[in-house]
Every structure is written in structure tokens, then in C-alpha cells.
Amino acid sequence: MLGKYRGIYRSTYIPLFIKLLHSIKDLTFEEEVDDRIESLLTQNAKNTRMAIRRDFKRRYLTFDEGLLVKTPLLEFVSHTNDLALIRELLYYHYIRAERIGAEVVMDVLYPRLPNAEYEMEEVMSYLAKKMPEMVERTWHNVYSFLKTALKDFGLLKRVDDRWVAQPYSPKLESFVYALHHEFTVDQNYLNPRVAYLLEEAELPRLFLMSHASVRDYIQRARRAGLISYEVCAGDEQVALIHKSLDRVTTEMIRGIGRG
């Protein structure tokens, strides 16, 4: 489908965007949020500040009739100082907002683990097929900005003179968050089969997780009381016992407080 994907034109701004999230998390109105963001941006050019604000809101905020929705992401920002966890949650929302980046991670890098080199020729060729209506400069922007983003978020590591993706181990909370986002927000599927998680779900591919790692995280989440696990008619299934991302986020935040 032509026009299905948009280019990537901005950096991740991780430290800045974490600062912005902390600053706006208790606000109510979108106008207040815009004013607060504007007061914290130091870029001289108005167009640059507007573009940064637009991408920040598009990636990380939700509004309903001009009111800021207190999302699970904002709840985590409000209740934990674990920067590694916040960074992973930002990555998850970033890669979903920048959809072509998600496709590159899932289709180009994930199948070539455990050592998937981020190669310009291969990525550019893939982008040309996925975004044929775009010009080569756009493909190169996507290649370049995505490379920087994956480095910033810790999913690309330098090995000799190459940038390589290797199997990644997210925080348990990030795994459970993404699991519930995919199966209670994107779709209503409270008892996903383990086979589906391994072969078709986006979660393990976006976080570059091996099959063995996914199974391990399922058991860790079960022991933490965040999900349950059962075998039904020979099929392994995960039960999302808290039934929503909001509720499981509340449970995870309680666990962080107890820890």
C-alpha cells in the first residue's frame, strides 16, 4: 500500500523526553502541556521546537478532547526512577510510533540473530521495497535515524568496526508491559498461545528476544503474579489475569514499591 509508512526525521532525544515526561505528568490540559514543553526546549529555531514537540507528543502522549490521558507510561514515569526501565518503555513506544523502524527490526535484524549487522545496503534495499513512493534521501534518513535510535536505546552494539544487534534481555516489567499492550490494547486476546507468542507476536521481535528467553520471561512473570500459565488441550497458553495494561501496570508499580 503506497503511503503506509512515514519517514523518520528526528532523533530520540531520550534525556530530554524523560525530562519532559516528568515535567508534564501531573498536568491536565493539552494547552498546559504545550506551554510546559515550549518552556523547556532550548533550540533557537521555532520550527525545530515545534517539530520536537510534535514528535514527543506523537510518540509518548495521548489526549482525549484536549485532556492529557494518564497512561500507563506516565504512571511508570511517576513511580519509578529506574532509568533502564523507562528507556525500554520509551523504546517500545518509539518503535511503534515510527512504524517503518519496527518493520526493519522485525524483518531485517531479528531473523539474523544472534549477530545481526545493521548494514546500510541491506536496510536501504528493504526500505526501497517497503516505501517505493519515497525518494532515496528519505530511505537514507530512515536508515540513519533508526541506526542512531537503536544505538541510543541499547539494541545496537559496536563489534569491531560494525554495528550489530544481539539478543536483548529487557526488564521483566518491560516484557509484561509490551505483552499487555499487544494483547489488551492492540487486540483483545487474553489467552495467547505460547506458540503464537514465539512465532507471530511482535513483542519478542521488537525486543530481539530468543524463544528460550521468551519462555523464561513467561515463567518469571508467572512467579511474580503478573500472568498465569497453563496447558490446555496440549497447547501452552498465557493468561493475562489482570486483563488490561492499566491494571497490570498498577500491580507492577506496587511490586516496585515493595521492592
* DSSP per position, 228-251: EEEEETTEEEEE-TT-SHHHHHHH
**Percentage, residues of the chain above pLDDT 70:** 98
Q: What average pLDDT does range 102-124 have in this prediction?
A: 98
Instruction: With respect to residue 26, please indicate whether it lies within any of the assigned structural domains.
Output: yes
Instruction: With respect to residue 76, please indicate whether it lies within any of the assigned structural domains.
Output: yes
Question: Are residues 181 and 154 located together in one domain of the fold?
Answer: no
Question: Are residues 180 and 253 located together in one domain of the fold?
Answer: yes
Question: Are residues 111 and 160 located together in one domain of the fold?
Answer: yes
Which ranges constitute the DSSP H helices of 153-232?
172-180, 194-199, 203-206, 211-223
The last residue of a domain, from among 142, 165, 188:
165
Question: Are residues 159 and 180 located together in one domain of the fold?
Answer: no
Whether the predicted model's global pTM rises above the 0.85 cut: yes
Question: Are residues 179 and 245 located together in one domain of the fold?
Answer: yes
Please determine, for residue 1, whether its predicted confidence score (pLDDT) is greater than 60: no
Question: Are residues 120 and 186 located together in one domain of the fold?
Answer: no
Instruction: With respect to residue 2, please indicate whether it lies within any of the assigned structural domains.
Output: no
Q: How far apart are CA 84 and CA 18, in angstroms?
A: 11
Instruction: With respect to residue 8, please indicate whether it lies within any of the assigned structural domains.
Output: no
Question: Are residues 101 and 43 located together in one domain of the fold?
Answer: no
Question: Are residues 68 and 111 located together in one domain of the fold?
Answer: no
Q: Which domain holds residue 213?
A: 172-258
Number of domains in the chain: 3
The last residue of a domain, from among 81, 99, 123:
81
Confidence category of residue 10, pLDDT binned at 50, 70, 90? confident
Confidence category of residue 234, pLDDT binned at 50, 70, 90? confident
Q: What average pLDDT does range 137-157 have in this prediction?
A: 96
Instruction: With respect to residue 6, please indicate whether it lies within any of the assigned structural domains.
Output: no
Q: What average pLDDT does range 122-132 have in this prediction?
A: 96
Mean pLDDT, the chain, rounded, equals: 95
Question: Are residues 220 and 178 located together in one domain of the fold?
Answer: yes
Nearest Cα residue to 154 out of 114, 219, 208, 204 = 208
Confidence category of residue 233, pLDDT binned at 50, 70, 90? confident
Local structure of residue 110 (DSSP, 8 states) = G
Q: How far apart are CA 12 and CA 26, in angstroms?
A: 23
The last residue of a domain, from among 81, 112, 127:
81
pLDDT, residue 232, reads 80
Question: Are residues 187 and 253 located together in one domain of the fold?
Answer: yes
Question: Are residues 144 and 190 located together in one domain of the fold?
Answer: no
Question: Are residues 71 and 114 located together in one domain of the fold?
Answer: no
Cis peptide before 114 (omega within 30 of 0): yes
Task: Write the CATH number for 238.
Answer: 1.10.10.10
Task: Write the CATH number for 71.
Answer: 1.10.10
CA 65 to chain centre: 25
User: 87-113 in b/e burial notation, b at 16+ Cβ within 10 A?
Assistant: bbbbbbbbbbebebbbbbbbebbbeeb
